[in-house]
Structure 1
């Protein structure tokens, strides 16, 4: 799930970079890139990999 979120953040960052768009001072290409890297790191750690029911 985090890998999908990272891919979406990277696509948004790429589109913002190509179009030269910035949404305020908080959401920039850099913040989207860092958020994407955080999602990749969480994915590689195994967070959100899935839940199993123990019976």
Structure 2
């Protein structure tokens, strides 16, 4: 989820940069700020933040017949 948000932020920053738009607040939403926000979201995703619960599936990670039971 964080990687998708980072891609959206990077795309928005690219559009702002291509069209040279400032959105009325040059210090708040400029391409550099959005780039830093995108890198923050991407680094959080790579660190494993927000990836969901780990090991909470009741121990059954396979589908179908149990392995090694013929």
- What TM-score does the superposition give when structure 2 sets the normalisation length? 0.71
Task: Name stretches of at least 5 consecutive residues in structure 2 with no aligned partner.
Answer: 59-70
Task: Name stretches of at least 5 consecutive residues in structure 1 with no aligned partner.
Answer: none
Larger Rg: 2
Q: Which runs of structure 2 are paired with 1:1-55 in the superposition (5 Å)?
A: 1-23=1-23, 24-25=25-26, 26-52=28-54, 53=56
* Aligned-residue CA RMSD (Å): 1.5
User: Which structure features the higher share of helix residues?
Assistant: 1
Cα distance, 1:16 vs structure 2: 0.4
RCO comparison, higher one (Cα < 8 Å, 6+): 1
Aligned residues: 55
Deviations 1:2-52 (Å, cap 9, x if unpaired)? Answer: 101100000000000110111212110000000000001000000000125
- What TM-score does the superposition give when structure 1 sets the normalisation length? 0.88
